[in-house]
Amino acid sequence: MTTVNPPEKLFKALMHPSRLLILEILRDGEQCVCHLEAVLGCRQAYISQHLMVLREAGLVEDRRDGARIYYRVVKPEVFNLVEYANQLSGANPNHFNKAKITDCPCPKCNPSADGNGSENKPDGGVSIP
């Protein structure tokens, strides 16, 4: 049986700029939390709070691989909704630097990563309101 979330839960999940940025990063496919940290320049606890809201709204799901947790979008239709909201509001969507992230310890960004969960502290990223 599929769980249906009320629309207000979905819209609440989309109300925060950080969550919109997280979704935009996940548009490119599954990402680990350390990758989100490196791209956004935010602490893991802050990102995890936003991921929890997105997960509770049924927009993302997680997968554990050893010490790493990976997230992916399960309802890609959300991107159409966000794009339509941007058109309605006349807003420019938030963009972030998609250049290669050099301080991300995840195996996807750094194939020589040791896989033990050690993390580098990001010193760049996107300004989060």
Is 126 within a domain? no
Is 68 within a domain? yes
How far apart are alpha carbons 95 and 109 in whole angstroms? 20
* pLDDT of 124 higher than 90: no
User: In the predicted model, what is the mean pLDDT of residues 72-89?
Assistant: 92
Q: How far is CA 72 from the centre of its chain?
A: 8
Among the listed residues 41, 50, 25, the one whose alpha carbon sits nearest the alpha carbon of residue 126? 41
Is 103 within a domain? no
User: In the predicted model, what is the mean pLDDT of residues 41-60?
Assistant: 96
Q: Is residue 22 packed enough to be buried (19+ CB in 10 Å), middle (13-18) or exposed (0-12)?
A: buried
* pLDDT of 90 higher than 90: no
Is 34 within a domain? yes
CATH of the domain at 44: 1.10.10.10
Is 85 within a domain? yes
Residue 108, pLDDT score: 76
